[in-house]
Structure 1
Amino acid sequence: MAMREKWLRQMASLVLGTGFLLAVSVAQAGAALDAVHEKGKVYLAAAASLAAYNDRLGMLVNEALQEEGWEITKYKHSTASADARFIVLKNLNADSWEPTYTLAVAGTENTKDIKTDMKLGKVWFTGATQAEFNAAGAATNVPDDKPKVHKGFYQYVQTAIDAGEDGHPIYKALMSDPSQRLLITGHSLGGAVATLGGARLLLAGVNPAQVEVLTFGAPAVGNAAFKQETEGKLALERVVLDGDPVPGLVQKFGGGYAQFGKEVRWQEENYMHQKPHSMAVYMDVAMKDYYRALQEAEKAGEIVTPRQSEGEGPKAYVVPASFKLPQEMEGEQPFMQQVMERQYRRALKGYVLADAAAATPKGDLEAAKQAGCQWLVRTEVQVTRLRQEVNGHVISLNQTVYRVADGRLAATSDYQSSTRELTPLVVIMHLTRNFAKDGVRWLDMPQKG
């Protein structure tokens, strides 16, 4: 149990430890940088949605977010109708493009949540106060030309309104300061509740410009009249993975429901995960989209990612990793390389991240000497398919460190993990986090032994 908890803690830390903004310098503002901000927001929403879950991994991700500088408040309130659970993130050092608050609602976790999902009947959704909403929700024989929503999701929202001793902290903050902005997010059930929560805030008088909703794999929440009344007022983006059945379940079994808002379709590689509804897969794709946006911004000259550290300290010359990947995983290589470089930037006191063009005729050691480095770091990544498991792989990383002065071997480390419960990119993040935490002891070793 202790070993598994340590592994989960390391994995959670590095999932968020990659940072929603890498260590980059802004060269000029433009469309590519705007895309980085937009993808960074989705990445943040995915991480927050993962952290909202009440399982052990969710709690560890929550802790990791706090380590990254996010102030987090947890809310929980239970009634006979629903168990409302959500977290509120506030970044005290938020950039202008980031929301002031991020509210993430937990998805389906327990029996009461399942019962909430199954309450497919509709109730009237209107009112400016809690009392007015309660009265509308209790009304009978409401015609279908009125805005009506999923009864279970409605009860969850009404329960969530009462969560916490501070009453309505987000509502009060938004109403008292028009510059405050809120991103509401969630996965599955959490996404449905996030949608209704956003609509509820607007009806309560919050400026629509202050509220944005971003969901992952969320089902429809209301009828055509609700869609007509809410669409165009509530900024809603729905992220849906191809093959995820949940976004269409309510329409299939309940009838009379309609999705609305901007739908963003993502594709999932078959080898990554067997369950396309998994929040882990949504997180994986969010990370990749963010890294792609960073690459495009670099190509456009709008950001500059450092290839060399500044300041004092021993410098390590890190050559590009070598990869042995099965054909279906070759597309992961550039993302794995970026994740590994990010971890080296975080861990090393001084570094030069080489690229293929930096090689000299005399080899890496000579290039390291010319760069003024004291250590040469080589990394090998090998992926082996598990025949007895569908979509199962074992990923192995080997790190070898040499003294540049004499070319002697200084240290070596081996790490290994499977993709049984995680996507390949998250496994790489886990293993390189081990490099960053455990594999840099050689920095303080003498140069000559």
Structure 2
Amino acid sequence: MRWMKKAAVAVMAMFVFLPVYAESSLSPKDAYETARKDYLCAWMSMAAYDDPISELGRNMLVHEHWKLSKASVSDELGHARFLIAMSGDKEERPLLILSVAGTTDYTDVKADLSFDKTLWDSSAAAPDKTQNLPKVHRGFKRYADSIWNTQLDTMTVSQILNRQASEGDILLTGHSLGGAVSTLMGVKMIDSGLNQHLEVVTFGAPAVGNPAFVDTYESLLPLKRIVNSGDPVQSVVQKVVKNYTQIGSEERWKPVEGSHYFSHRMMVYLDTAIRNYYDARDAYEKSGGHIPENIPASPPSFFILPLQVTTDDALASDIPYMKKITADYYQKQLPGAIMGTEGKTTEEALSLARQNGCRYTLENELTARTIPSKNNEIQITFMQTLRTVDGHVISYSEYRMPARDMTPIEAALYVAAKVKPSI
């Protein structure tokens, strides 16, 4: 998986601030940069949680020299979880990303259900003159206030953001409740005069304020709200309580057809971001665009055959993305790895490995099967064979898991990371 500008292909790459255009007006290059940014945001929003795929995302960030601070703040009224990531590329403009987790426990649910509004600026007017002033969801505001004032080492989050605003770029992101809180964090930055080099991208976030709030901040807050078709949560506040209005520019995504996963889950947003990213990357390359190649070590160690995938017909559309995301992961995790092309036999791969000065070949196979008797649960089996270039098998590993809290594409990446070559 690629994270930086100089890597072969960007998975969580250098962040590029782009204006929001209609999809049809984007050039292949701008469409690629936009999809890459959304991909980064989706991974960061996923990484704020505590799922296995979230842990993998954090591990990959650390591998790419991002400095992470994962924190939470709790009281009797709520429990806010968030992740701050600081880019480690010294040659690029510094980027700080703050991502906020969504609902995961009962205190979060209580915050979600605190539908009553409160003044955004409680000092703005006397209690009897507040009707037309900006008001926001009380529970979301409490979360935003808690994170804003959280102490991390020697500085509060607000102080960290203040310092970063003078040195680099800031990206706020989050899913569901986390997206709502990220939106309010962005407004806090605007109120503090820290709105330069700021952008907010949310996934499935509900409305946070009344029309007066939207009228006040709509033109000031650079916010893109990504919403899956069929996601009921993003509109629940407006449906349950009157006088809530969405803010920002909405981008509607369509999850893969036939998926049995709940469309609001962050893993579904991440799955769509993966597909969009690789589709945009392919289109950009076909248009003549150049994405930097991975520079092999001298001499290279691994010759890696493309992932061989066997799936049910219903999962056939996942196969190209499984191959691409695992190839990217290996190229970064195994520096100097040479990726083979499709259709090579083991003997042909061994010969090519010797010609390229490699020491080992790595063959990976994956099967993904739907089990109707288990509520259409998808069972993943991953098999890996490591050989020396003379054909001697060093190791064979096999790993099985149900794809419950991740989609099949995400599961392919997860098992590839789980089963590491043993030399």
TM-score (norm 2): 0.83
Alignment of 1:418-433 (within 5 A): 418-433=402-417
What's the secondary structure of 2:140's corresponding residue?
Answer: helix
What's the secondary structure of 2:272's corresponding residue?
Answer: helix
What is the CA–CA distance in structure 2 between the aligned matches of 1:266 and 1:138, rounded to whole Å?
Answer: 43
| Equivalent position of 1:172 in the other structure | 162
Q: Of the candidates 161, 172, 182, which is equivalent to residue 194 of structure 1?
A: 182
Retained in 2: the 8 A contact 1:54–1:106? Answer: no
Retained in 2: the 8 A contact 1:49–1:186? Answer: yes
Q: Of the candidates 394, 398, 409, which is equivalent to residue 414 of structure 1?
A: 398
| Equivalent position of 1:319 in the other structure | 305
| Equivalent position of 2:35 in the other structure | 39
CA spacing shift, 1:234–1:413, aligned 2, 3 Å: same
Aligned letter for 2:404? R
Alignment of 1:108-119 (within 5 A): 108-119=103-114
Moved more, 99-108 or 193-202: 99-108
| 1:397 matched to 2:382 | yes
What's the secondary structure of 2:97's corresponding residue?
Answer: strand
| Equivalent position of 1:299 in the other structure | 286
What is the CA–CA distance in structure 2 between the aligned matches of 1:187 and 1:423, rounded to whole Å?
Answer: 17
Aligned letter for 1:423? T
Unaligned runs of 5+ in 2: 11-15, 17-25
| Equivalent position of 2:98 in the other structure | 103
What is the CA–CA distance in structure 1 between the aligned matches of 2:388 and 2:59, rounded to whole Å?
Answer: 37
Q: Which runs of 4+ in 1 moved over 6 A?
A: none
| Equivalent position of 1:48 in the other structure | 44
1:261-302 deviations in whole A, cap 9, x for unaligned?
111112223555522111122222222322223323322333
What is the CA–CA distance in structure 2 between the aligned matches of 1:102 and 1:308, rounded to whole Å?
Answer: 28
| Equivalent position of 1:330 in the other structure | 316
CA spacing shift, 1:205–1:424, aligned 2, 3 Å: same
CA spacing shift, 1:392–1:308, aligned 2, 3 Å: farther
| Equivalent position of 2:23 in the other structure | none
Moved more, 69-78 or 105-114: 69-78
Q: Of the candidates 138, 152, 162, which is equivalent to residue 151 of structure 1?
A: 138
CA spacing shift, 1:223–1:65, aligned 2, 3 Å: same
Retained in 1: the 8 A contact 2:53–2:410? Answer: no
CA spacing shift, 1:280–1:137, aligned 2, 3 Å: farther
What's the secondary structure of 2:123's corresponding residue?
Answer: helix
Moved more, 86-95 or 343-352: 343-352
CA positional deviation for 1:117: 1.3
CA spacing shift, 1:355–1:220, aligned 2, 3 Å: same
| Equivalent position of 1:222 in the other structure | 209
1:152-173 deviations in whole A, cap 9, x for unaligned?
2223223333221634214531
What is the CA–CA distance in structure 2 between the aligned matches of 1:52 and 1:380, rounded to whole Å?
Answer: 30
CA spacing shift, 1:429–1:63, aligned 2, 3 Å: closer
CA positional deviation for 1:403: 5.2
Aligned letter for 1:88? I
CA spacing shift, 1:307–1:123, aligned 2, 3 Å: closer
What is the CA–CA distance in structure 1 between the aligned matches of 2:231 and 2:44, rounded to whole Å?
Answer: 20
What's the secondary structure of 1:277's corresponding residue?
Answer: coil
- Aligned CA-pair RMSD: 3.4
What's the secondary structure of 2:196's corresponding residue?
Answer: helix
CA spacing shift, 1:174–1:375, aligned 2, 3 Å: closer
| Equivalent position of 1:204 in the other structure | 192
| 1:388 matched to 2:373 | yes
CA positional deviation for 1:79: 5.0
Retained in 2: the 8 A contact 1:218–1:246? Answer: yes
CA spacing shift, 1:374–1:123, aligned 2, 3 Å: closer
CA spacing shift, 1:368–1:47, aligned 2, 3 Å: closer
CA positional deviation for 1:221: 0.9
Unaligned runs of 5+ in 1: 1-16, 126-132, 442-449
CA positional deviation for 1:375: 4.5
What's the secondary structure of 2:267's corresponding residue?
Answer: helix
CA spacing shift, 1:307–1:329, aligned 2, 3 Å: farther
What's the secondary structure of 2:368's corresponding residue?
Answer: strand
CA spacing shift, 1:205–1:112, aligned 2, 3 Å: same
TM-score (norm 1): 0.78
Alignment of 1:238-257 (within 5 A): 238-257=225-244
Retained in 1: the 8 A contact 2:340–2:349? Answer: no
Q: Of the candidates 19, 22, 27, which is equivalent to residue 3 of structure 2?
A: 19
Percent identity for Structure 1 against Structure 2? 31
Retained in 2: the 8 A contact 1:184–1:213? Answer: yes
Retained in 2: the 8 A contact 1:88–1:101? Answer: yes
Retained in 1: the 8 A contact 2:117–2:137? Answer: yes
Aligned letter for 1:103? L
What is the CA–CA distance in structure 2 between the aligned matches of 1:22 and 1:394, rounded to whole Å?
Answer: 36
CA positional deviation for 1:394: 1.5
CA positional deviation for 1:237: 0.5
| Equivalent position of 2:22 in the other structure | none
The count of residues paired between Structure 1 and Structure 2 equals 405
1:189-241 deviations in whole A, cap 9, x for unaligned?
111111122112212222x3322111111001112222222112110001111
What is the CA–CA distance in structure 2 between the aligned matches of 1:268 and 1:58, rounded to whole Å?
Answer: 20
Aligned letter for 1:241? N
What is the CA–CA distance in structure 2 between the aligned matches of 1:101 and 1:383, rounded to whole Å?
Answer: 37
Q: Of the candidates 107, 118, 127, which is equivalent to residue 139 of structure 1?
A: 127
CA positional deviation for 1:37: 3.4
1:88-138 deviations in whole A, cap 9, x for unaligned?
221132665x7621111222233332222112122222xxxxxxx343498
